Amino acid sequence: MDLTEFGLRLVLLFIPGIICAGLIDTLTTHRQTTQFRFTLRALIWGVVSYGFLSLFKPDLSFFNALSDTSVNPSIPEAAIATGVAVVLALTTTYIVTHKLHFRIAQKLRLTRRYGDQDIWGYLFNSTDVDWAVVRDHKRKLVYDGFVKLFSDDSKNAELYMTDVRVYDNASGDHLYDVPGMYLSLDRTDMTIEFQDATMKPSKGDTNA
């Protein structure tokens, strides 16, 4: 078997892993993934997908087809494994989104990390935070309203707010109201206050 044929077989056989890794990469918030890491994860998820399938179909041709050119990859097996991969991707997305693995690890005192990229994501992903007061120190303005959308991390510091009341930061005078406002601010020139936040982090929620 030459390298070209082996490569084509790998692609065909690991399509479930590629789909699984792609869905997780698309649906979850995370740091930028390199091509090498994505490829490695796709291979791992491919093996895991076929591994789950082998629990119900022990006579899989998957592993034999990798090394034996006389064994053709099974299209039905790949289709079923792809379905398994989608279920795995959605399950993993739910776990990552709700930080269930970090919560379990905190309960077991294995870590003090909270799982988000930074505190920005931790705060805005909390269900306890919906109303915020944003102080724009550069423009000397205050934006008071509901937070509807936010960027993945504080580096971009993007917010979309509704029912916004704008004030002068120095005098506190009310300037105007606006139904919706997009903000893109320098995180070093702003302060965000959460007037009605009731979050009570666990003892482990102290480190990034």
Domains of the chain (ranges plus CATH)?
3-102 (no CATH), 130-193 (2.30.30.100)
Q: What are phi and psi of 182, to 5 degrees?
A: -100, 130
Q: What does the alpha-carbon distance between residue 82 and residue 62 come to, in Å, rounded to a whole number?
A: 13
Find out whether 162 and 179 touch, Cβ atoms under 8 Å: yes
Distance of alpha carbon 190 from alpha carbon 167, whole angstroms: 14
Q: Give residue 207's pLDDT band: very low, low, confident or very high (50, 70, 90).
A: very low
Residue 203 — pLDDT band, cuts 50, 70, 90?
very low
Question: 50 with 62: CB under 8 angstroms?
Answer: yes
Put simply, whether the predicted model's pTM sits higher than 0.75 gets the answer no
Distance between CA atoms of 208 and 117, rounded to whole angstroms? 7
Count H helices and E strands in the chain, helices first. Answer: 7, 5
**In this structure, what token pair is assigned to residue 170?**
């120095």
User: Residue 111 — pLDDT band, cuts 50, 70, 90?
Assistant: confident
Handedness of CA 56, 59, 62, 63 (dihedral sign): positive
Q: Which three-class secondary structure state does DSSP give residue 185? A: coil
Residues 133 and 148: their CA atoms lie apart, in Å, by: 13
179 pLDDT above the threshold of 80 = yes
Mean pLDDT is lowest, of 60-69, 91-100, 183-192, for: 60-69
- Is the pLDDT at 2 greater than 90, yes or no? no
| pLDDT higher than 90, residue 103 | no
Q: Give the mean pLDDT of the chain.
A: 83
Helices (H), 110-160: 119-124
Q: Is the pLDDT of residue 165 over 80?
A: yes
